[in-house]
Amino acid sequence: MPPTTPNPAFLQIQDVVKDFGATRAVNNVSVDIAQGEIFALLGSSGCGKSTLLRMLAGFETPTAGRILLGGRDLATLPAHERPMNMMFQSYALFPHLTVFENIAFGLKREGMARDRIAAQVEAMLKLVQLSAFAQRKPHQLSGGQQQRVALARSLAKQPQLLLLDEPLGALDKKLREQTQIELVNIVESVGVTCVMVTHDQEEAMTMASRVAVMSEGRFLQVGAPAEIYETPATRFVADFIGNVNLMDGTLDVDEPDHCVIGCDDCKHYVGHGITGTAGMAVTVAVRPEKITLTRAEPAGEFNRVPGTIKELSYFGSFTVFHLQLASGARLKVSQANTQRHNDDRLTWGDTAWASWSDSAQIVLTQ
Amino acid sequence: MNGLRRHFNGRTAVIAAPFLFLLAFFLLPFLIVGKISVSEMETVAFKDVLIVVDGAVQLTLKYANYVFLAEDPLYLETYLSSIQYAAATTVLCLAIGYPFAYFMARAKPTVQPALLMLVMLPFWTSFLLRVYAWRGLLTEGGWAHSVITGLGLDHGLAALGLIAAPGQLIHTPFSLVLGMTYNYLPFMILPLYANLAKMDLRLLEAAADLGATPWVAFWTVTVPLSKAGIIAGSMLVFIPCIGEFVIPELLGGPETLMIGRVLWDEFFSNNDWPMASTVAVMMVLLIIVPLAIFNKYQAEAQERTR
Amino acid sequence: MKASRAGIWFGRGWLSAGFLFLYVPIVTLVIFSFNDSQIPNVWRGFTLKWYAALATDTEMQSGLWLSLQIAFLTACGSVVLGTMAAFALVKYRRFTGRTLFSGMVSAPLVMPEVVVGLSLLLMLVSMQRLLGFPERGLGTIWLGHLLLGMAYATVVIQARLQDMNPQLEEAAMDLGARPHQVFWLVTLPLITQSLLSAWLLTFTISLDDVVLSAFLSGPGSTTMPLVIFSRARLGLNPSVNAVATIIVAVVAVGVVIASYLIARAEARRQAELAAATKA
């Protein structure tokens, strides 16, 4: 059952560092995770996210720093005594045990009575909709079914914290979309706090309530998916998440309610002020879907640039255009194909104007 | 798995038991052999190396055995001859075994387990008996003897110096190398097969796609990739062959000098324990270099699979 | 990749010749055990008298009994020590003396038996002078075989342990199993087959051993291979052929059955593994 007043600092990671010999895998990471939250660690391979997860599980010990769960320091607890369970990337289902026995494994270790174990296992099987498969062995199940057994097994002990290691990595695209939603529903219905590790942006953004973008052992930004996407804190984050156009320029005018930035190809009028000094170098980031392409020249002198269409990629529901600008730089524009038939569709070689509103830009100083 | 360390006291026991066993019954005996090789033989026992005389500790090391070993041409010849026979056996095993393992690995996957079993079967049967069987085959009246003399091959062997005289096939270098090759062939085939069976056949397809004929692809792709198997197999044949005793005893003759037999004779026939120990120490030193190579390869192979 | 016709026939030819080479000696042993002649080499007629002679051959029988006992003890001891050594080498990456340990474990595989036998014997003799025991006999032979057997067992079990998905043991720990429970409930069931292979392998090696047994045996403890060896040294002896045939028959039946069972279990295991872990 979801708690009534969730503890905002249920899982506390404080200044955690992990060294493997001379390599620093996790470099001073701190965050408070709320009870009932689904928190994602997002990054490419080698960024330290799996190491951090393993430290939570107890398979690695931090070189420095503390990890607290519900106020209790986990340093004194070995892996098999921690009140958290992990769903492994390879599922790690015991091949010599049936589905039932796999799920019951953790409950048996607790010394639970047999009838209670049976009841709990049945409940878990019902939760993941695999009640008919209780007596099968793992090799007799499909990939998606195995994943659900792994999930059921990790929830059977009603852990205080659920750890997911690349939960959807092995599934194909269709199955992944379906499972993403199912997984979130199950986790939320159980109400367990969840930390997941993934390299897949889509997975992190759709499933988590907050995402931490990790690189080289550090947190670059922590926030809700929309926040990370629409308000990235650095160039790296802006570039890492989704697609983005980055334009370097100088801050010409800086007023409390607006600012003007001059770039090679165009001038930006941004509808809010930023903290900075005139003449400072900044980068303006604009997401491809925030840009409109028209044949006709838009009015005004700001937030528009002409160019020639050099590439286009048709994705069915939308098309991505690569617009070559005067300076040689390319602008990526994404347009939804809202009309089935369009006789005036833009194509290679056409000249077009790209334009955007004054709230579309993200101004980055790092 | 660092989290285990603090809480698994059994870990020390698990490492300690075999470790202590090996220290006590493998390493310690070698040290004792070393000590005995420099001591003097006194009827059935041997004088102690360290004795206390008038309050002072005296070290009597008798290097005479080592000196003798170095000076006597027979011992040197025997060591060299052992290496030669071992090398010849290894080369023959490789020549016969590599194609064998190759064709096994390329056979239909359903047939391979049966082939493997057929190769393993002689291995599980007593090797002593199989060596004895060759004795029967190569003595006058035996099948192999009849075939070889019938085809006149024995004259060729005599010309090569592999047998003393035509017609006498047993107790010759020929019978010795034949026996050793026969016995150690599975030891060459198995690592090679394991290696070749794991090879990705698509690499050969890529080679063909880039214009290599099957023959060229074999030499430029398959053979280099099977290097680990070749080395493992060769080491598993060469090193034990140097110190072989049973096969030289049953199939070898007076002119086939093998160091294993020398050690045995020193011990059982001459009752000269220090001499036997000296021979043993020299044998170990002789083997240490190939052994170190073998170990290094094993360790590297293990690291690669992690 | 399709091989040429010539290539296929060459391959088949080579394999056939090779198998012929491997099996002709064994077949001759068997055939001549039925030979009615003192000289087992020349065929004179069919007889079973050599097998009948075995019934009264007390030397051979006691040798067989001793060898079976030692082989059984060796196999059991080797599997236990080998499992420990394999664990030490695979699971515990860093401990003092690891290179020495690793070298010592694999050395008996390639070290000449005469050297191992001599050194062990000399140590036992020194022990006997100092402490009054042990007497050379079953126990000392067992010791030598154990050294050799442990090396083989470690290789077999180590290979299996390295193959195993380490996340299975982590999952067990994550679900609350204490380290020793992880071993008994998860690791052991998964390596059972390799333990059996190691047992059979070391049993065979012990049963067949000549050199170590020669160095380490005492009066009254003559193993079967030693009996055969001393007879074989003197010349060709039909009783040896008879024993050989019996051994070959037993081994052949055993290997065929075992291979079949192993192949079946292996196929099952591969299917389980491939499905339980992501490819």
**Do both A228 and A260 map to the same domain?**
no
Average pLDDT value for residue range B144-153: 81
Last residue of a domain, one of A211, A236, A261: A236
Local confidence band at B43 (pLDDT 50, 70, 90 cut-offs): very low
- Given this model, what pLDDT does residue A15 score? 93
Angle (nearest 5°) at CA B291 between B286 and B292: 110
Please say if the pLDDT value at position A308 is more than 70.
Answer: yes
Q: What's the full length of chain B, in residues?
A: 306
Which CATH fold would you assign to the domain B72-305? MetI-like fold (1.10.3720)
Q: What is the mean pLDDT of chain A?
A: 90
A80 with C178: Cβ contact below 8 A: yes
β-pair partners for A364: A283
**Do both A156 and A257 map to the same domain?**
no
Give domain status of residue A94, yes or no: yes
Residue A91 vs residues A152, A164, A171, C241: alpha-carbon distances, Å: 11, 10, 12, 56
Write out the two tokens for A248. 């370097």
Average pLDDT value for residue range A135-163: 91
**Do both A188 and A54 map to the same domain?**
yes
Average pLDDT value for residue range C90-115: 82
β-pair partners for A246: A285
Quick one: which of A266, A356, A346 has its CA closest to A309? Answer: A346
**Do both A290 and A223 map to the same domain?**
no
Average pLDDT value for residue range A137-143: 87
Please give the residue range of the domain that contains residue A337: 247-364
Could you give the CA distance from residue A45 to residue A192 in angstroms, rounded to a whole number? Answer: 27
Contact B133, C244 (CB under 8 A): yes
Please say if the pLDDT value at position B56 is more than 50.
Answer: yes
Residue numbers of B between 4 and 23 with CB closer than 8 Å to A: 4, 6-7
Residue A224 vs residues A39, A181, B161: alpha-carbon distances, Å: 9, 17, 86
Interior/surface letters A70-93, b for 16+ CB within 10 angstroms, e for the rest: eeeebeebbbbebebbbbbbbbbb
Which residue in C114, C122, C244 is closest to B129 by CB distance? C244
Quick one: which of A344, A42, A32 has its CA closest to A201? Answer: A42
ipTM score for this prediction: 0.80
Could you give the CA distance from residue A166 to residue A198 in angstroms, rounded to a whole number? Answer: 5
**Do both A185 and A154 map to the same domain?**
yes
> Residue B149: left if φ>0, alpha if ψ -120 to 50, beta else—which one?
alpha
Q: What's the full length of chain A, in residues?
A: 366
Please say if the pLDDT value at position B1 is more than 50.
Answer: no
Q: What's the full length of chain C, in residues?
A: 279
**Do both A232 and A251 map to the same domain?**
no
**Do both A101 and A228 map to the same domain?**
yes
Which chain A residue shows the shortest CA-CA distance from C274? A139
**Do both A104 and A48 map to the same domain?**
yes
Quick one: which of A237, A219, A163 has its CA closest to A28? Answer: A219
Smallest CA–CA distance, residue C166 to chain A, in Å, is 9
- Given this model, what pLDDT does residue A51 score? 93
A94 with C278: Cβ contact below 8 A: no
- Given this model, what pLDDT does residue A55 score? 93
Going along chain C from its start, the domains and CATH numbers come out as: 58-276 (1.10.3720.10)
Q: Which pairing describes strands A267-270 and A259-263: parallel, antiparallel, or unpaired? A: antiparallel
What pLDDT digit, counting tens, does each position of C71-101 carry? 999 999 999 999 999 988 888 877 778 888 8
Contact A107, A120 (CB under 8 A): yes
Q: In total, how many domains does chain A have?
A: 2
Please say if the pLDDT value at position A142 is more than 60.
Answer: yes
Where do we find the tokens 């053979």?
Answer: B223
- Given this model, what pLDDT does residue C3 score? 59
Residue type, C50: W
- Given this model, what pLDDT does residue C2 score? 54
Which chain A residue shows the shortest CA-CA distance from C186? A94
CA B113 to chain CA centroid, Å, is 26
Which helix (H) or strand (E) covers residue B42, if one does? strand B41-42
CA A71 to chain CA centroid, Å, is 27
**Do both A28 and A49 map to the same domain?**
yes
- Given this model, what pLDDT does residue B3 score? 44
Quick one: which of A220, A241, A219 has its CA closest to A362? Answer: A241
- Helix, strand, or coil (residue B53): strand
CB-neighbour burial class of residue B9 (10 A; exposed 0-12, middle 13-18, buried 19+): exposed
Chain C neighbors of A160, CB-CB under 8 A? none
Answer whether C179 touches A (CB < 8 Å): yes
- Given this model, what pLDDT does residue B94 score? 95
Average pLDDT value for residue range B267-288: 82
Angle (nearest 5°) at CA C33 between C32 and C37: 70
Please say if the pLDDT value at position C214 is more than 70.
Answer: yes
Instruction: Report domain extents, chain B.
Output: 2-59, 72-305
β-pair partners for A362: A285
Last residue of a domain, one of A205, A236, A267: A236
- Given this model, what pLDDT does residue C38 score? 67
CATH number of the domain enclosing A58? 3.40.50.300
User: What is the distance in angstroms between the CA of the first residue and the CA of the last residue of chain A?
Assistant: 43
- Helix, strand, or coil (residue B264): helix
- Given this model, what pLDDT does residue B54 score? 56
Share of chain C above pLDDT 90, in %: 27
Please say if the pLDDT value at position C153 is more than 70.
Answer: yes
Smallest CA–CA distance, residue A314 to chain C, in Å, is 32
Write out the two tokens for C201. 């392998």
Chain B neighbors of A61, CB-CB under 8 A? 2-3
**Do both A225 and A287 map to the same domain?**
no
CATH number of the domain enclosing A274? 2.40.50.140
- Given this model, what pLDDT does residue B51 score? 54
C255 with B139: Cβ contact below 8 A: no
What pLDDT digit, counting tens, does each position of A219-228 carry? 999 999 999 9
Phi, psi of C73 (to 5 degrees): -65, -40
Give domain status of residue A5, yes or no: no
Share of chain A above pLDDT 90, in %: 56
What pLDDT digit, counting tens, does each position of B84-128 carry? 999 999 999 999 999 999 999 888 888 888 888 888 888 888 888
A59 with B3: Cβ contact below 8 A: yes
Quick one: which of C244, C150, C163, C248 has its CA closest to C201? Answer: C150
Give domain status of residue A4, yes or no: no
Residue B156 vs residues A366, B80, B146, C17: alpha-carbon distances, Å: 85, 25, 15, 22
What count of other Cβ atoms lies within 10 Å of the Cβ of residue B198?
11
Which chains have 3+ CB pairs within 8 A of A?
A: B, C
Which chain A residue shows the shortest CA-CA distance from B5? A78
**Do both A278 and A186 map to the same domain?**
no
- Given this model, what pLDDT does residue B2 score? 44
Could you give the CA distance from residue B7 to residue A361 in angstroms, rounded to a whole number? Answer: 55
Write out chain A in H/E/C secondary structure. Answer: CCCCCCCCCCEEEEEEEEEECCEEEEEEEEEEECCCCEEEEECCCCCCHHHHHHHHHCCCCCCEEEEEECCEEHHHCCHHHCCEEEECCCCCCCCCCCHHHHHHHHHHHCCCCHHHHHHHHHHHHHHCCCHHHCCCCHHHCCHHHHHHHHHHHHHCCCCCEEEEECCCCCCCHHHHHHHHHHHHHHHHHHCCEEEEEECCHHHHHHHCCEEEEEECCEEEEEECHHHHHHCCCCHHHHHHCCCCEEEEEEEEEECCCCEEEEECCCEEEECCCCCCCCCCEEEEEECHHHCEEECCCCCCCCCEEEEEEEEEEECCCEEEEEEECCCCCEEEEEEECCCCCCCCCCCCCCEEEEECCCCCEEEECC
Give domain status of residue A214, yes or no: yes
What pLDDT digit, counting tens, does each position of B213-244 carry? 888 888 888 888 888 889 888 988 998 888 88
Give domain status of residue A136, yes or no: yes
What pLDDT digit, counting tens, does each position of C12-71 carry? 888 898 898 889 888 888 888 887 776 656 677 788 888 888 888 888 889 999 999 999
Quick one: which of A220, A226, A170 has its CA closest to A41? Answer: A220
**Do both A224 and A256 map to the same domain?**
no
Could you give the CA distance from residue A47 to residue A42 in angstroms, rounded to a whole number? Answer: 9
